[in-house]
Structure 1
């Protein structure tokens, strides 16, 4: 019994020591595993700060891409619920939008993202440092940069070599022609000057407007007549190095067609929108317009019977007959005031990248018939007219930026005012161009 008691006692002692050891181990482990400090806890991502951005663009009024542009903004906001975007728009046919942009950019009321022209129109706020070069931002995001057509990016480069505006869609301009009106009046399409003159004479006598165009907002008239007369080189020289004599020839040709009854009787009072309405309603046989105009024409008899041609070369003109106006004349700017704002900078750049992504570019191009700025995106025209327009641009011997991107706004206003003065015989082409040249020289000083 004593032996058994000793054994039992020994076992109890060992068991007690084991329990004590376990307790010390647990105590040691407990002491080792101290509560985690705040810095050691997994960090919860802070909610993104609410940001409000204002985008100003010309996707307003009756612009064909208005809804597609709004949809692109809505898509961005849905993916970034902390960002509110005000879509501030005006129509490009309203000359007041230039005044608004220039006023906003010089008065401290800059938008956070600006869609506007490149070239001379932007030179003032570019020189004033109101927008930031996008070269480094593009280089820092190779995927974004590679999404653009190199030619499109190059077309937006300013004189100092920097890219301040990233393009969305390009454009082409041409002579839009109602084939049915020509066929009904036994006229050949105006592929040369004589056919154009015959069409003007015939149609004006029948009470049909041959060429829908206003005198004041005569942008497309000036560009096409001068390109026809002076060719690409003379057209693109602007007025900086003197007056190309062929520019006088272009203005003289405007008067020649005016005397034949080419323009609407109220050309002195209508604007571009009204001229477009005349064509879109089948009241005019021709109009000088851009690719964007097609979206505004709703009459199937007009849409289904329209083609677009290069403006023909006038006698003695230096053009080839296949020169066109076109390019990538506008894009999105990032104002410096937004770039320097820590709360807005990243959101604005993210919006900029979204609005110029290949997917959005394709949707805008489908809506407005423009040339996509995205690499590898091919757009087939929604209508035969759009297809004809793309074919015209593809076969052009030269694609040239509009004259108003090469001269100061005040100079171009003088050229515009000169159209009515010349066609009505109040001024000679030489007088108008001399006045414009003096204004251009004064602006360059």
Structure 2
């Protein structure tokens, strides 16, 4: 705005201009979210002058933060929604919270096929999700928006599973790794060391089982839960090619290394290391059994660290839980300090947005992806940040369990993603079926690998 011109205007118009400028200052991005003039420009464009009429509009937002275990993550989302609605005149979010697997494998694929996904939605990266939808033209290219908001260089190297032809189509909200949570009190009471070696782990499992304590709580009613451990068991057996080689045929489900992973899992089933009747147990049951002291360990994602603190679902274990990566497997061919870790889940946005919706999306991104919210996600929910945090911010991390998770990830020599972000939907579904058959004694390790490879080859041929 030009001051010389304002002098010529009437007092009323000058007053309107001042008020508009104030509104722009109120809507400017926080210092945590932006440090560039581009961000201020984006905020200004979202704020009409007082003389303009604001047309109310809604923006659909699909999330998976449902239930007690997700309450901290939902609180963060609610605050972002509230801030964005306050910033964008006329905006009202329409939240739709559903279970993770239902969104990923049922609702979102159907909506994408029909061309009517929500405007904002939970999105997984990789060939089976984000890249497939990007190729179909369903996802908003976020590359220019990140440049406009001054955010691109503030992220860690996390866009691999969301990038197609150099363009970014999704924003990981944070990262995770998978490993062993163990009840330090139960271990001490039974004279056991922290299970940092394979021998320690096996000794602990055998000792606990003999004393009537389930070594590992697990709920395998949903196949993705036991698949977490299987993914790491296979990854540790393989020197190269897993899991990316599955889709180009350079790695096969029925080659000896993959079968070895299934074999270890089956051995643990036969030894009674897992919850009895695990196929009838849910993911929530798994946590409840661990929290109640019925089991001494769980193999789970690092996000689970948020459950063991005051006010959380398993608050009784606050200060009584440790975390380690799966110990090195003797004679396995893979890198034994490598971990299953990735930044594969976040938010995507529909490519079909009008001007008002696009302004709202930019504000949503700015309000969610900043130091404040990333630090909250780490402190409150155990989600590893996808953005670069300052030393000052990291110094606020005092939870010993969260520190163990971060140190474990930092000390890993390499990482590999979960195969469900790489393989086709039919292959992932078959992996769950075959693992459940293995658990139930209806398939051998080799038979599971052979069956999976058959489906993999059929999908690769399409």
Same fold, TM-score > 0.5, yes or no: yes
Shift of 1:132: 2.2
Distance in 2, matches of 1:111 and 1:95, equals: 14
Q: What SS does the aligned partner of 2:109 have?
A: helix
- Residue-by-residue CA offset, 1:251-290 (whole Å, 9 max, x unaligned): 0001111121111012011122211221122221111111
CA distance in 1, matches of 2:167, 2:446: 36
Task: Provide the residue aligned with 1:336 in structure 2.
Answer: 351
Residue 406 of structure 1 is matched in structure 2 by 422
How far residue 389 of structure 1 moved from its aligned partner, in angstroms, is 0.6
Indicate the residue corresponding to 2:35 in structure 1: none
Displacement of 1:169: 1.3
- 1:370 maps to 383
1:167-186 to structure 2, matched below 5 A, reads 167-186=172-191
Paired positions, count: 402
Taking the aligned partners of 1:136 and 1:96, their CA distance within structure 2 comes to: 27
Aligned residue number for residue 303 of structure 1: 318
The equivalent of 2:109 in structure 1 is 102
- Which of 1 and 2 has greater Rg? 1
CA–CA distance in structure 2, aligned partners of residues 364 and 301 of structure 1: 21
Match of 1:188 in 2: 193
TM-score, scaled relative to structure 2: 0.80
Partner residue, 1:125: 133
Q: Which moved more, 1:294-303 or 1:221-230?
A: 294-303
Does residue 60 (structure 1) correspond to residue 66 (structure 2)? The answer is yes
1:200 aligned partner: 205
1:440 aligns with 2:445: no
Q: Kindly tell me: are residues 268 and 155 of structure 1, through their superposed partners in 2, closer, same or farther at Cα, counting changes over 3 Å?
A: same
Residues in 1 aligned to 2:114 and 2:176: alpha-carbon distance in whole angstroms: 31
Q: Secondary structure at the match of 1:329?
A: strand
1:291 counterpart (302, 308, 319): 302
Give the match for residue 145 of structure 1. 152
Cα-to-partner distance string for 1:152-197 (whole Å, 9 max, x where unaligned)? 2x33433544310012211122111111111111122222222222
**Deviation at 1:97?**
4.8
1:214 corresponds to 2:219: yes
Superposed displacement of residue 136, structure 1? 2.5
Q: Does the CA-based 8 Å contact 1:110-1:337 persist in structure 2?
A: no
Contact 1:177 1:306 (C-alpha < 8 Å) held by counterparts: yes
Which stretch shows the higher mean deviation, 348-357 or 174-183?
A: 348-357
Instruction: Write the distance in 2 (CA, Å) between the matches of 1:134 and 1:308.
Output: 35
Whole-angstrom CA distance in 2 between matches of 1:441 and 1:368: 39
Query: What SS does the aligned partner of 1:416 have?
Result: helix
SS in 2 for 1:237: helix
Which residue is 1:30 aligned to? none
Q: Counterpart in 2 of 1:18?
A: none
Shift of 1:115: 2.0
Unaligned 5+ segments in structure 2 are: 1-7, 18-48
Equivalents in 2 of 1:441, 1:162: separation in Å?
Answer: 29
Aligned equivalents of 1:44, 1:370: Cα separation in 2: 40
Q: What is the deviation of 1:345?
A: 2.1
2:255 paired with 1:242: no
Structure 1: unaligned runs, 5 residues or longer: 1-32
**Which residue of 154, 165, 172 corresponds with 2:170?**
165
Any conservation in 1 of the 2:176–2:303 contact (CA below 8 Å)? yes
Structure 1 contact 167–356 (Cα < 8 Å) conserved: no
Q: CA deviation at 1:95?
A: 4.6
Match of 1:28 in 2: none
Which residue matches 1:14? none
Partner of 1:314: 329
TM-fit CA distance, 1:304: 1.0
Q: Give the Cα separation in 2 of the matches to 1:168 and 1:145.
A: 14
Alpha-carbon RMSD across the aligned residues, in angstroms, is: 2.6
The Cα of 1:385 is off from its aligned counterpart by 1.0
Change (3 A) 1:84 1:96: closer
Report Cα offsets for 1:401-423 as digits up to 9, x if no partner: 11111111221221222223224
**Normalising by structure 1, what TM-score?**
0.83
Q: 2:87 aligns with which of 64, 71, 79?
A: 79
